[in-house]
Amino acid sequence: MKDRVIIFDTTLRDGEQSPGASMSLDGKVKVANQLARLGVDVIEAGFPVSSPTQFDAVSLIAELTKGPIIAGLARAVKKDIDVCVQSLKKAKKSRVHTFLATSDIHLEKKLEKTKSQALKMAVNAVKYAKGFIEDVEFSAEDASRTNRDFLFEIIEAVVDAGANVVNIPDTVGYTTPDEYGGLIKDIMRKVRNINKTTISVHCHNDLGLGSANSLAAVVNGARQVECTVNGIGERAGNTSLEEVVMILKTRQDIYPFSTGIKTKEIYKTSKLISIVSGISVQPNKAIVGINAFAHESGIHQDGVLKERTTYEIITPESVGFEKSRIVLGRHSGRHGFKSRIKALGIELKDSQFDKAYERFIKLADKKKEIFDEDLEVIVEDEITVTSETYVLEYFNIVSGNKTIPTAPVSLKKGKQVFQEAACGDGPVDAAYKAINKITKLKAKLVDYSLQAVTGGTDALGEVHVKVAVGNRTAVGMGASTDIIEASVKAYVNAVNRLLAKRKKA
């Protein structure tokens, strides 16, 4: 039978201590409820004594979040524990998580306490907390740099005092997997009463070893892992929940352990944390990064399209992504290009495909990523001829810092010439509104990008726009040494494509 690993999520406590992270009260409740849906066993909701806002957050989460144990953090002093207990009153399942530093450097330089004083404080804190709440966890802060004999002594003492869980933190991310695994192994062998408690681990990622150290601890007897979604937290962050969970699930041959995590909720949780905390996930982040299941290399695309497991060890669907992403760019090959064209429902003859692929490669040298709308533009010229085309005759811009931007525009369609003028927030906006008047399209600008194709003050500017009418979209491109002219050309180009799509439909 598989051993169960308890997932203790500290995103709302240690994760919020990440520089730049600041979660609103409403945001924290949303995160807590999503963590419950994810299936975490314990939610560390905050550090109640640190501020009235923290107290309110822990209290509200304790009241509104159902399922997981709700924990509050407290230093090994009565006031902290009293406030923590008060904040957890309405929780169906609650835990006081009390901590005290145990390493020589922390005792001497930070706390100015002797080992005997620290030992007494730890025991008293656990006993005091047990008087209010049955479930008590004790953390020996900076355990990985603590004298081992003293660490064993303090663990034994707090277990005798009633600690249900004893946490062995690598607070500063200093240790390595072999060293940390060995420490947990020694605790399991040398602490007399260790069978009466659960060993927990809380690793930081200062050397990039948070997940590796946590797994080494599990192999050697730890059965609770403290972690955060997206790995956010103090300095370089904490052990990443999604990494530990998916390693345990993927490598059962090495780690025959289970968790209660519903892995299909991982990506959704990651996105929510990113929004609420304001901390974006790096694109190449394991499991939840936007590039985790993206392939641009032609060789990789060819392999994945033939057999997914050639380059994917887990399915994107298993963690909540919709599907793998074939990214079309300068490294893509013909197979990836052909597959995307086919997925768009476009059929090309061999000669058309070759020409379209050549145009794709040229565009890929200018753009980092080619989108579906870009592909539609590329192939449209090879398979579509439309007479319903507007041609730019002229435009004139009146603009200035004390003048309302105005743009008269003239477009020609066949032998007919149309003229309109409009005001806007800027010269480009005014021109676009005039074009909408002429074409009678209620077109909306979705995306606009400008880049210099050549260098110098007379650089050729290339404008790409994405325009939408209802659920139809089209992209257009225009180039000129005058960026307003390039912008107008791009918009006319996109409008023509929208009209062609509407006629075809």
Residue by residue, DSSP assigns 117-178 as HHHHHHHHHHHHHHTT-S-EEEEEETGGGS-HHHHHHHHHHHHHTT-SEEEEEETTS---HH
Q: Provide DSSP, 3-15.
A: EEPEEEE-TTTTG
Contact 57, 83 (CB under 8 A): no
Question: What span, in angstroms and rounded, lies between the C-alpha atoms of 268 and 303?
Answer: 28
**CATH 3.30.160.270, applies to 391-504:** yes
Does the fold of domain 391-504 match that of domain 3-277? no
**Residue 104, both tokens:** 């020589």
Contact 276, 15 (CB under 8 A): no
Other CB atoms within 10 Å distance of the CB of residue 321: 21
What does the pLDDT look like over 11-59, one tens digit per residue?
999 998 888 787 899 999 999 999 999 999 999 999 999 999 999 999 9
Map tokens 């930070």 to a residue.
110
Contact 56, 25 (CB under 8 A): yes
Q: What is the pLDDT along the chain (505 residues), one digit of tens a residue?
A: 359 999 999 999 999 888 878 789 999 999 999 999 999 999 999 999 999 999 999 999 999 999 999 999 999 999 999 999 999 999 999 999 999 999 999 999 999 999 999 999 999 999 999 999 999 999 999 999 999 999 999 999 999 999 999 999 999 999 999 999 999 999 999 999 999 999 999 999 999 999 999 999 999 999 999 999 999 999 999 999 999 999 999 999 999 999 999 999 999 999 999 999 989 898 889 999 887 777 666 667 667 668 778 878 888 899 998 777 655 666 666 777 777 777 666 777 777 778 777 777 777 666 666 666 666 666 655 554 444 589 999 999 998 888 899 999 999 998 899 999 999 999 999 999 999 999 998 899 999 988 775 555 555 677 889 999 988 888 888 877 788 998 999 999 899 888 887 777 6
Other CB atoms within 10 Å distance of the CB of residue 444: 13
SS3 186: helix
For residue 319, the model assigns a pLDDT of: 93
Domain boundaries, the chain: 3-277, 294-383, 391-504
For residue 1, the model assigns a pLDDT of: 37
For residue 448, the model assigns a pLDDT of: 92
CATH number of 3-277: 3.20.20.70
SS3 488: helix
What does the pLDDT look like over 287-298, one tens digit per residue?
998 877 776 666
For residue 417, the model assigns a pLDDT of: 94
In whole angstroms, how large is the CA radius of gyration of the chain? 30
For residue 457, the model assigns a pLDDT of: 55
Question: What span, in angstroms and rounded, lies between the C-alpha atoms of 95 and 87?
Answer: 11
For residue 442, the model assigns a pLDDT of: 87
According to DSSP, residue 234 is labeled: S
What does the pLDDT look like over 106-150, one tens digit per residue?
999 999 999 999 999 999 999 999 999 999 999 999 999 999 999
Contact 163, 138 (CB under 8 A): yes
